[in-house]
Structure 1
Amino acid sequence: MITLGAATIQRFEAVNLLLALILLFTSYKLFAEEDEESDLSDNFIVKTCQKFIPVTDYYDGDRFFTTQEGLWKATPLLLTVAVIELSDIAFAIDSIPAVFGVTRDPLIVLSSNIFAISGLRSLYVLISESMSELDYLQPAIGVVLGFIGTKMIFDFFGYHIPTEASLAIVTTCLSGGVILSLRKASTEEKNK
C-alpha cells in the first residue's frame, strides 16, 4: 500500500496537495476540538459495529462475547478493542502524509510507520497520561501538522524548505509545548 502510494506520489505530484490538505485539516481539528468528554455511544465505529453485531449493555469479565437470553452477543469490551484497532489504522493512515512530507522513500515511510505503531502501543499509558498532563502538547502537535502540510504545499509549488529548518521548527514546537505545559503545571501548583 505504501509502495503504491509512493509510486502514485512520484507519478502524480498533485497527490501531495491532497495529502497536505489532510494534514492541514487534522491540524485544524486539533485546535477546534473541545475538551469535553464525548459519549462513545455516538462514536461512528461503535454505531457501525452495533449494526452488524448485537451488543450487551454490560461487561462480562474479560470476555468479548457472552450469552444473553440464549443468544450470543458481543460485550462492550469487543467494541473497545475494535475502536482501539481502528484508531491504530487511522493513526497510521494519518501519519503517512506527514512522512511523505519529509521523504519519498517507501522503505523509510513503511519502517517509520511500523515503528510508530509499535512504539505507540507500548507507550500508550505514558502518552495518554502525558496528553492529559501536558496542556500545550496537543496544540504543539497541531502546529507541527500544519507546518508539514504547508511545507508540502510549498514543495509542490517549487519552494523548498531545508530539512534542517524543518527539524528545527518541529523540535521547537514540540519542546515548546512540553516546556509551556510544565511551566503552567508548576505555576498552578505554586498557587494552590
Structure 2
Amino acid sequence: MSETPTAFMVATFVVLAAFFVVDLFVIGRKPHVPSTAECVRHIAFFVVMALVFGALMWAVAGSGPAIEFYSGWLTEYSLSVDNLFVFVIIMSNFAVPKIMQKYVLSVGITVALILRGCFILVGSAIITRFTWVFFLFGAFLIVTAVKLVAGGDDDEEYHENGLIRALRRVMRITDEYDGTHLRTVRDGVPFWTPLVVVFLAIGTTDVLFAFDSIPAIFGLTKDPFIVFTSNVFALLGLQQLYFLLGALLDRLVYLPVGLSVVLAFIGVKLILEALHGNTLPFINGGRHLDWVPEVPTWLSLAVIVVAIGGAAVASIVRTRSVEGAAK
C-alpha cells in the first residue's frame, strides 16, 4: 500500500493533468520550432517541479518514498534521453516538417503516457500476486544492460511495427501533410494524413521502451503512484530535450554505458529481492532466504547519480579531446 496521503495523490494528478493540458492545448496549439531559451525554460521548470514534488513527498510521506521518487525519476529521465535517438529517426523517416515536430511530440507523448499508465497498472497487479516475477524482470534488465554495452544498430534505422503496418493496409493515407489536420481531401477523396501514423509511431515506440523502464523502476519502488509520477515527470520534459539536444545527442557517447550500469544494478537488486521474499524448494530447504541482503534505496539513488553523471562527464571530456585533436 502507498504511504502517500490520498488527498496529496489527488492533488498531484490534478496538477500533472493541468501541465499536460497547458503544454498540449495552449503552448502546443500553434506549431512552432522552440528557441533554445524556450527549451531551457521549460526543462528548468519541469526539473524544478520534480525536485519540489520530491520534497513534498518527503514532507507528507517520509524520506523513503521521496528517495524512491528521485531514484525512479532520474532513471526514467535518463532512459528517456536515450529514447530521443529513436524519436529523431522517426521524425526523419516520416519527413515531419520541423515546425510541426513539437506538436507531434506533444500528442505522441500523451498517447504514450496513457498506454504506460495501463502498463503500470498491469505490472503492479502482477508483482502484487507473483513476487517471483522479479526474477524475470531482473534477468531481463541484466540482458538489456549487456546489449547496451555490446552496442548494436537498433537505433540507427527505424522499422514500422506491426500495428502501423496493419493501419496502412486498412486506411487510405496520403504522403502529404496538411498542417495539423489528421484528415484531408485530395481530388474529392478523403485521406488520413501521415500525422496519424506519426502519432502512433511515437506513442507505440515509447511504450516499447517501457519494457525496459517499467521493470527498472519497479526495482526501485513497488508503489504504483511513485512509478506513475516518475514516468510523468520524465515525459514532461522530453519534447524540449528533443529540440535542445538535437545534434548533440551523438556526443553522449558514454550514455549507453551509464544506462547499462544502472539497469544491471537494478536487475541484480530485483533478483536479490526475489530471493529474499520467496521460498525456493531447491535452496535452503525451502525456507525463506532471510540472509540474502536487501539493497537500500539510498544506495540505488547514489549508483544512478554516479553512473549517469559519470557517463555525461566522460562524454564531455571525450568530445572536447576529439575536437581538440581535430584542430
Q: After superposition, where does 1:110-189 map in structure 2 within 5 Å?
A: 110-126=228-244, 128-158=246-276, 159=292, 160-189=294-323
Q: Which position in structure 2 is the counterpart of 1:34?
A: 153
Aligned counterparts of 2:247 and 2:271: Cα–Cα separation in 1:
34
> Which AA in structure 2 matches 1:167?
L
Q: Which position in structure 2 is the counterpart of 1:191?
A: 325
Q: CA RMSD in A?
A: 2.7
Aligned counterparts of 2:214 and 2:155: Cα–Cα separation in 1:
29
- Checking the alignment, whether the CA contact within 8 Å between 1:92 and 1:117 is kept in structure 2 is no
Aligned counterparts of 1:128 and 1:5: Cα–Cα separation in 2:
33
Q: Which position in structure 2 is the counterpart of 1:43?
A: 160
1:174: how far off? 0.5
Aligned counterparts of 2:238 and 2:174: Cα–Cα separation in 1:
30
- Checking the alignment, whether the CA contact within 8 Å between 1:23 and 1:149 is kept in structure 2 is yes
1:108: how far off? 1.5
> Which AA in structure 2 matches 1:23?
L
1:48: how far off? 3.1
1:36: how far off? 6.9
SS in 2 for 1:66: strand
1:130: how far off? 4.8
- What is the aligned-residue identity percentage? 36
- Checking the alignment, whether the CA contact within 8 Å between 2:141 and 2:216 is kept in structure 1 is yes
Aligned counterparts of 2:213 and 2:154: Cα–Cα separation in 1:
23
- Checking the alignment, whether the CA contact within 8 Å between 2:172 and 2:191 is kept in structure 1 is yes
- Checking the alignment, whether the CA contact within 8 Å between 1:24 and 1:150 is kept in structure 2 is yes
Gaps of 5+ in 1: none
1:93: how far off? 5.2
Aligned length: 190
- Checking the alignment, whether the CA contact within 8 Å between 2:172 and 2:192 is kept in structure 1 is yes
With the length of structure 2 as denominator, give the TM-score of the two structures. 0.51
> Which AA in structure 2 matches 1:57?
D
> Which AA in structure 1 matches 2:153?
E
Give CA-to-partner distance per residue, 1:32-87, whole Å, 9 cap, x none: 3327731x4x3215323312322223333443333345432222232212211223
> Which AA in structure 2 matches 1:188?
V
Indicate how the Cα distance of structure 1 residues 115 and 33 shifts in structure 2: closer, same or farther if over 3 A, else same. Answer: same
- 1:54 and 2:188 matched: no
- Checking the alignment, whether the CA contact within 8 Å between 2:160 and 2:201 is kept in structure 1 is no
- Checking the alignment, whether the CA contact within 8 Å between 1:92 and 1:113 is kept in structure 2 is no
- 1:105 and 2:217 matched: no
Aligned counterparts of 2:187 and 2:147: Cα–Cα separation in 1:
43
1:106: how far off? 2.3
Shift >6 Å, 4+ stretches: none
Give CA-to-partner distance per residue, 1:84-123, whole Å, 9 cap, x none: 1223434445422112101112222222222222233443
- Checking the alignment, whether the CA contact within 8 Å between 1:88 and 1:117 is kept in structure 2 is no
Q: Which position in structure 2 is the counterpart of 1:78?
A: 196
> Which AA in structure 2 matches 1:21?
A
Gaps of 5+ in 2: 1-117, 277-291
> Which AA in structure 1 matches 2:300?
S
